[in-house]
Chain A
Amino acid sequence: MRILDLALKDLSQMLRDKRSLFFIVVMPIIFTLFMGFAFRGISQSDEEVDNRIPLALVDPQPDSRLNKMFFTRLDSSGAIKVMVMNENEAMDAFRKGEVAGVLVIPDGFSEQVEAGNEAQLNLIAETSSSEGQSIYQLLRVPISQLMSAVEIARISADLQSNPAEYSPAIELAWSKWDENSKLSLVSVEQAATEKSSDWTGGNPYNQASPGILVQFAIFGLITSAQILVQERKTRTLQRLMTTAMKPWEIVAGHLLAMFTLTFLQTILLVVFGQLALNVNYMREPLGTLFVCVALGLWVASMGLLIGVIAKVDEQVILFSMIAMFLFSALGGLWFPLEAAGGAFAAIGKAMPSAWAMNGLQNILIRGLGLESVWMAVGMLSAYALGFFLLAVWRFGKMDV
């Protein structure tokens, strides 16, 4: 009970200071918005970027039946962006790299094919490039379907010995191809691998929100560690030691206050991220909760250690700032460690802040489940235990 009373006293002192509230609540929200805007410029969302491959289409007879059917299919494609041009414009755009290829439909293509003669489309593309390869593959399917539809219609008309059957048959065959091509045989879910080029998973706040959340949890140490230093300076710690309270109870009381402050701040930022920035922490609520608890324990233990080591307020600020910048930069809170690569990323990945980010981003960006946070939670808890034991050892040697 006395542990709780001590923690409540600490919290009451922390929350009385309006400047602390500003740094604990307002500043992280402002920084999250700021960082989100910064990342928006680097990694725009899917909705804003047209990822289709641009293709110039040169079609001298756009009103011919097969030309029209083929254009409609291409234009509705999610993979190809069709830009109708004359031949000169198309070649100019290709040279400038504005299109990945030029597809030329020859004069009389529709009539020739329907008459059963051979006709060839002409694709101009850089076949050694991935886009050139892609556009070739993407065109093969609708062309094959178009030729199949023509063949089916012709066979159908021949079988019935009625040439008038050709037109309804080709319309029917083409529409069936169209229906089949729209069937969702495979569902696609938004996700990203660690090496994905879109490291924000489509929402720039997926990096900014957890990054600032972890960073300001560490920054909050200034407030909580100062309580311990003030307690030593005002000799109230000495007085506490003269009560029947055991030293471990005093340590636990202060730790509880620091944990509560960090945890509440973290939850507040999670709620803000979820509601205001569409960062989907609630996709795996238990996972988010476990990471936040483990993060709170690690940060509180580090705050306790700083509070025990620092002799004056200035040292608390210095040590907290060093911790914040070290763990923020190395831990990938400002930018993904994958973007840094090499030794930097290798060292950074060992940081507890990196584990916190990893746990949260497994949920937010990689779309993974609860099981994906266990490693992060375990590592953060191990760091928390290490810092706590160091703090208790130092507390025992402290001159009160």
Chain B
Amino acid sequence: MNAIEVKNLKKSFGDFQAVQDATFSANAGEVLSLLGPNGAGKSTTISMLSGLLTPTGGDASIMGHSVTKEPELAKASLGVVPQDIALYPDLSARENLVFWGKMYGLRGAALKSRVDEVLEIIGLTDRQKDHVGKFSGGMKRRVNIGAALLHKPDVIIMDEPTVGIDPQSRRHILDNVKELNRQGMTVLYTTHYMEEAAELSNHIAIMDKGRVIAYGSHDELIKMVGQETRIDVTLNAEAEKILDAWRATEGVARIDSLDGKITALVDDSNRVLPRLFDAASKHGVRITSVDIQEPNLETVFLHLTGRALRD
């Protein structure tokens, strides 16, 4: 049985289709990342999985329970870490965890010991009595995650949990995710940081404009673009002066221009780069910077959409 199963999921807001026929799944005990730029439909998809939004079409299940037909059972197997900090700032870290533990049905000694465990996991045992409102962004994020772990859910959904925090807290959260997964928890992780998706995931679903445009393991996705290398170039002149000449250059698979920056996908940067310089010289254009990237998820997204992941 798949821990998460999403089939032809749709969500419309009036005429706007936020999610269109999304289909993917996650085996029990694996990390699945939903990767895509802002507005790709990731948050809408997980809102439907967590019962916050009702799908317009299709269905999804958590541990075999349909989110539309058995929402309470699906939610009981689920812990959700929202993108925003969803805590009571005037309560302490411990009071927050105790409250959320009760909302997940924990009571008495079991609640107390689980709160102690979670405080240990998120590394805030020493600060448990401080009001959450006084915490740094990173510490709040850690309590935000802790609140979703209290009932030891089979599946945890994390919606961009590392947005806007310091590198140290980010590292702590990523390590937490790996540890939770090591303990057998299935994790659905949404991010627009391809490095995080690459580091954490067994499978990755890439979303853009409400659609899942690619799904597979990290290596499977990289293979989609072959061994193409990405070269980002900036010029001292208008890109249009050179774009056609470069498109016609041997070894260039694809070339796009955005905001004065040119991105090219090439089969062998060592061979193609001198040709690009030659062409530029012939057209009187000076190259002012070059950045070469080996194939990665960013390249995959560029290959599939013609846009960079962070555009």
Binding site for B on A (CB under 8 A): 1-2, 5-6, 9, 12-13, 16, 234-236, 238-246, 400
Contacts of B59-103 to chain A: CB distance below 8 A: 72, 75-76, 78, 80, 82, 84-91, 99-100, 102-103
Cα A1 to Cα B78 with chains together (Å) = 20
Cβ B52 vs Cβ A241 within 8 A: yes
Cβ A245 vs Cβ B103 within 8 A: yes
How many cross-chain pairs have Cβ atoms below 8 Å apart between A and B?
61
- 19 additional A-B pairs beyond A2-B105, A6-B103, beta carbons within 8 Å, are A1-B102, A1-B107, A5-B103, A9-B88, A9-B91, A12-B91, A234-B86, A235-B82, A235-B85, A235-B86, A238-B52, A238-B82, A239-B80, A240-B103, A241-B50, A242-B51, A242-B78, A244-B76, A245-B103
28 A–B pairs (Cβ distance < 8 Å), ordered by A:
A2-B103, A2-B105, A5-B102, A5-B103, A6-B103, A9-B88, A9-B99, A12-B91, A13-B88, A13-B91, A235-B82, A235-B85, A235-B86, A236-B86, A236-B88, A238-B84, A238-B86, A239-B82, A239-B86, A241-B50, A241-B52, A242-B51, A242-B82, A244-B72, A244-B75, A245-B103, A246-B72, A400-B52
Q: How far is the CB of A7 from chain B (nearest CB, A)?
A: 12
Q: How far is the CB of A377 from chain B (nearest CB, A)?
A: 34
Contact pick for B147, options A5, A239, A241, A400, CB 8 Å: A239
| Majority secondary structure, B binding face | loop
Contact pick for A243, options B75, B84, B87, CB 8 Å: B75
Chain A residues with CB under 8 Å of B104's CB are 243-244
Minimum CB distance partner of B49 in chain A: A242
Chain B residues with CB under 8 Å of A236's CB are 86-88
Cα A103 to Cα B60 with chains together (Å) = 101
Contact pick for B99, options A5, A241, A245, CB 8 Å: A5
Cα A1 to Cα B88 with chains together (Å) = 20
Minimum CB distance partner of A237 in chain B: B86
Cβ A243 vs Cβ B86 within 8 A: no
Cα A243 to Cα B51 with chains together (Å) = 9
Instruction: Count contacts on B: residues with CB < 8 A to the other chain.
Output: 25
Cα A400 to Cα B52 with chains together (Å) = 8
Chain B residues with CB under 8 Å of A246's CB are 72
Cα A1 to Cα B51 with chains together (Å) = 22
Chain B residues with CB under 8 Å of A400's CB are 52
Known: A241-B52, A400-B52. A234 touches B85 (CB 8 A): yes
Q: How far is the CB of A243 from chain B (nearest CB, A)?
A: 5
Cα A16 to Cα B91 with chains together (Å) = 10
Cα A16 to Cα B147 with chains together (Å) = 22
Minimum CB distance partner of B102 in chain A: A5
Chain A residues with CB under 8 Å of B86's CB are 234-236, 238-239
Cα A238 to Cα B53 with chains together (Å) = 11
Known: A244-B105, A245-B103. A234 touches B52 (CB 8 A): no
Q: How far is the CB of A170 from chain B (nearest CB, A)?
A: 87
Contact pick for A234, options B72, B88, B100, B103, CB 8 Å: B88
Q: How far is the CB of A350 from chain B (nearest CB, A)?
A: 39
Chain A residues with CB under 8 Å of B103's CB are 2, 5-6, 240, 243, 245
Contact indicator per residue, chain B 235-259, by CB within 8 Å of chain A (1) or not (0): 0000000000000000000000000
Minimum CB distance partner of B78 in chain A: A242
Cα A246 to Cα B72 with chains together (Å) = 8
Instruction: Enumerate the 3 nearest inter-chain pairs by beta-carbon distance, A residue then B residue, closest first.
Output: A239-B86, A235-B86, A242-B80
* Central interface residue in A1, A16, A239, A246, by most chain B CB within 10 Å: A239
Contact indicator per residue, chain B 41-59, by CB within 8 Å of chain A (1) or not (0): 0000000001110000000
Cβ A16 vs Cβ B90 within 8 A: yes
Cα A246 to Cα B75 with chains together (Å) = 10
Cβ B102 vs Cβ A234 within 8 A: no
Cα A324 to Cα B242 with chains together (Å) = 71
Chain B residues with CB under 8 Å of A1's CB are 102, 107
Q: How far is the CB of A229 from chain B (nearest CB, A)?
A: 13
Chain B residues with CB under 8 Å of A6's CB are 103
Cα A335 to Cα B89 with chains together (Å) = 42
Chain B residues with CB under 8 Å of A235's CB are 82, 84-86
Chain B residues with CB under 8 Å of A240's CB are 103
Cα A246 to Cα B51 with chains together (Å) = 11
Cα A203 to Cα B104 with chains together (Å) = 53
Q: How far is the CB of B189 from chain A (nearest CB, A)?
A: 16
Q: How far is the CB of B69 from chain A (nearest CB, A)?
A: 15
